[in-house]
Amino acid sequence: MPVPNLTRPVAQTRADLLDLVSYEIEVDLTDGGGKPGEHTFRSTTTVRFGCREPGAGTFIDLIAAGIRSATLNGQPLEVSGYTLEDGLALPDLAADNTLVVDADCLYTNTGAGLHRFVDPVDGAVYLYSQFETADAKRMYACFDQPDLKATFSIRAITPYDWEVVSNARAARTSDAPGGAKLVQFATTPRLSTYVTALVAGPYHKVQDTHDGIDLGVYCRASLAEHLDADEIFQVTRQGFDWFHRAFSYRYPLDKYDQLFVPEFNAGAMENFGCVTFLEDYVFRSRVTDAAYERRADTILHEMAHMWFGDLVTMRWWDDLWLNESFASFVAVLCQSQATRWTAAWTTFANTEKTWAYKQDQLPSTHPVAADIPDLEAVEVNFDGITYAKGASVLKQLAAYAGIEAFLQGLRGYFRRYEYGNTTLADLLEALAEASGRDLSNWSAQWLQRAGINSIRADFTLDDEGRYASFGLVQSAPPDNDVLRDHRLAIGLYGVEGDKLIRVDRIELDVTGARTDVPELIGVVQPDLLLVNDDDLAYAKIRLDPESLARTAGHLSSFTSSMPRALILGASWDMTRDAEMAAHDFVDLVLENVAAETDSSVQRILLAQMWTSARFYSDPARRAALNAHLTARLRELTAAAAPGSDAQLQLLTAFAGSATNGADTAYLRDLLEGEQELPGRVI
């Protein structure tokens, strides 16, 4: 089926012409006899809108099996010219218009539009909508672009025993023909079409209330026994409390539903007040704490969108990166300050930043702020640059502006543009006003040029081991010679007893090819000099050989997980760049991974070690290296605390690397109960 490809100029022309007022939408999801429909559903849409140039024409978007009828200002519309690509033509508009479109729309099983799923466990039918980027037109006739916001009043006819959820609260329920029911939802504030939503089916529901907001968590009935709603509510409550304080702007709805839906083709979707999630987040067996941390991050990411994305929305998809990067950055900021995952920035450094660094060095890299001329161009930009590099760059911007000034700028931004549409320039203006920083050159450096810089310390020592000279040297790849301004910290660490302690920290701006650091002249060379301490900068960091050698066997003695993660991350990057031998990286991980206290760091290290051994190692030594790795993982698994998160991760890694007969026989015996691992039920 052809998919309409709206272009930016056409969208701009339509936005300049129309003043959108409201939608009234009714969908009949039954077969007429109170049972779920199978292939199509009836959708009736009433749109009220103004036209700035009476007499002009435009079109409305719709993907449907067919149009039953359409009227414009009480007069029948000719629908024979309707096509999926061109929509329905609207000629000779008045200053104020009422359009009614009665159509038969199609269920999908692709995760676009209104997705229909039949549960193989009990045969129950579940529906949920997914409209980003521009698939609202698959459920109702609409001007399907983000800058034509309107209010929405949605009605749904469904089987009587179904739960029905939308953006707003259900205002009333009444009987419908055939033993069905009609659910009328309250009218929403002004929204973009892509964040409207409808979810319906015999979902299992758990409810709670926090700070005047009714909370709901939903999943398929057949998964109800696995739904840990209390844990999800806990993160949700912590998130609302933090966002309310940080933004000084209350979540504007009186309810917030989170629905874990089947066959979801992404991680989650930020429908206003009706967030949908990949149902893999309903854990059906024992998982690591890293999995819980990732789910919490996703919950907070979507919650951040309630303000940045839903309340204030990008004008066009050029700023998709900003929408997603902002939510990614602020979710980690919230998680680190409001939840039990206080080391969330460590996870960010090991996952998002590692992803970004890798993608930014591929031939397929692109500027963060990509040119999006049409909807087709959006699809290729849901990647590590849009999400991970963008979030890393925003972390750098917050460090450059100052985190309090950054949040202060956001408060003014939300008030100024509530329920409206903006561009990047509007956000930068608000941040510049709050911080007093000149951000005029920031966008050109960080957003309009692809690639990544490298930063290393360059120094000399006097006879007493003190720094006689010290500078930070910045370089760029030969084919991309841009040097950026960085805000970063230098950490000085020393061994005290059995701990590595930070004894000093210097934060500074780095510009150009070399930045001298006079504060370090005369300072005794520490046991560890860590460039980019606290991971403020987005750059490849190199440790000096002395620092790497002194700390390689003592990483577990750090009092914080972040410096440990930064050293291991730099070592991983050196391995990828062939500056460290793969077998040395494997040994570094094996020496430290069992003592790692951060579940997410442990997960990433084991994955990186596996990649190094399988793909980066000397082929002549690969078999021996893998045998060594597997044997050591089995030893570490046996020595791990019974029932611990580390034991689970090490066992999983061992199972993934085992190839010889003795190891596979041991795993088979564990599975069949012939062998036991203390604290672990297989």
Q: Which residues are catalytic?
A: 302
Contact 278, 266 (CB under 8 A): yes
Give strand ranges (E) for 557-651.
none
Q: Which of 313, 219, 283, 218 is nearest to 15 (CA)?
A: 313
CA neighbor of 407 nearest in space, from 492, 482, 334: 334
Dist. CA 378–CA 368, nearest whole Å = 13
Bond prior to 45 in cis (omega within 30° of 0) = no
What does the alpha-carbon distance between residue 375 and residue 540 come to, in Å, rounded to a whole number? Answer: 33
Collect all residues with Cβ–Cβ distance below 8 Å to 467 and sequence separation of at least 6. 459, 460, 461, 520, 521, 522, 523, 525
- For 33-63, letters b (16+ CB in 10 Å) and e give ebebbeeebbbbbbbebebeeeeeebbbbbb
Q: How far apart are CA 27 and CA 236, in angstroms?
A: 31
What residues pair up with 516 in beta bridges, in sequence order?
471
C-alpha 45/C-alpha 471 separation (Å) is: 65
Alpha helix segments (H runs only) across 450-598: 545-551, 561-576, 582-592
467-475 and 454-461 strand pairing: antiparallel
DSSP 219: E
Edge to edge, the sheet with strand 540-542 lists 514-516, 467-475, 454-461, 540-542
Give, in order, the Cα–Cα distances in Å from 559 to each of 81, 496, 500.
69, 11, 7
C-alpha 682/C-alpha 663 separation (Å) is: 16
